[in-house]
Amino acid sequence: MSKPLTNQLPAEYQALTTILQARRSIRKFRPDPIDDETVRLLADAARFTPSAGNAQPWDLIMVRDPETKRKFGDIYIEQLRQKNRLEMTRAADIRFFGDEPPEPTAGFVDAGLLVVVIGDPRVIDAFPLRTKIDKGPQHIISSLANIVVTLHYAAASLGLASQYLSDTGSPEMEIMLADLLGFPDHLRAYETVCIGHADMKPSSRYVKEVEDIVHLEKYNMDLAKTDAEIRRHIIEKLRPNFKKVL
Ligand SMILES: Cc1cc2nc3c(=O)[nH]c(=O)nc-3n(C[C@H](O)[C@H](O)[C@H](O)COP(=O)(O)O)c2cc1C
């Protein structure tokens, strides 16, 4: 693909790609508080997120109370023990953490703010009937995923670090969080975005090249991968601990 000339790039593209490249998953935070103004700015940016049928199926529970965050961390650690036991049943080379699970920790409780993204599946009726039947739940999930990503980039634009906490939506954790945070049964806990001040520098990450993912006009079979190639790709590129187990 021909590259655009750098000096012709719109300032908006440069600002956007700067944020896209700078945002990283940070898993260690300084315990500095997040003020009311920042909470408002994050929510104000996030509310413009696109959603299927403009249904906006979200609520954001903003958790800053240290005691609630501590309980949140305890719930997370408890479910992680079972998750790690399940992972140990997998073949060693593809196991997420290598030889043995690390001791579960919840570094995110130091983040000043936990944004728990709650979904309301009832707005599925905002979609045309066929859409509702075909892919209603998928549209709800995609919309919630969108607001999560907006929150991450909004945090990055304010110089803040963020982390995904997707175990939020696992059944056991969701029930425990409903009890802790008081949201009703008909709502779903989708994801938590932990936002705060970074206390670590992330190591470099693997990012696919443009040529790895772009197919011009038609699917390019040169880019197709066999099952064995996909497995090798997961082990070699995506498993941080793969060297320990090979
Ligand atoms: C759907 C989704 C779920 C994720 N779940 C978690 C999670 O539970 N805990 C975590 O620390 N990171 C989680 N991540 C972050 C990814 O591990 C991370 O984005 C990826 O490794 C790339 O690193 P980067 O965010 O620094 O670019 C999740 C990311 C996505 C998109």
Domain positions in the chain: 23-200
**Separation of alpha carbons 34 and 195, rounded Å:** 8
pLDDT at 242 over 60: no
Nearest CA to ligand 1 atom 29: 164
167 lines ligand 1 (CB under 6 A): yes
Q: What angle do CA 4, 211, 95 make, to 5 degrees?
A: 135
Which tens digit of pLDDT belongs to each residue from 64-82? 999 999 999 999 999 999 9
As a whole number, mean pLDDT of residues 15-27 equals 96
Residue 189 to residue 171: CA distance in whole angstroms? 9
Cβ of residue 201 lying under 6 Å from some atom of ligand 1: no
Q: Sorting pLDDT into bands at 50, 70 and 90, what band is 5?
A: low
Is 205 exposed, middle or buried (CB count within 10 Å of its CB: 0-12, 13-18, 19+)? Answer: exposed
**Ligand 1 center from residue 166 Cα (angstroms):** 8
Predicted confidence (pLDDT) at residue 3 exceeds the cutoff of 80: no
pLDDT of residue 4 exceeding 70, the answer is no
Grade residue 155 by pLDDT with cuts at 50, 70 and 90.
very high
Q: What is the mean predicted confidence (pLDDT) over 122-131? A: 96
CATH superfamily of 23-200: NADH Oxidase (3.40.109.10)
Q: What is the pTM of this model?
A: 0.94
Q: Does residue 202's CB lie within 6 angstroms of at least one atom of ligand 1?
A: yes
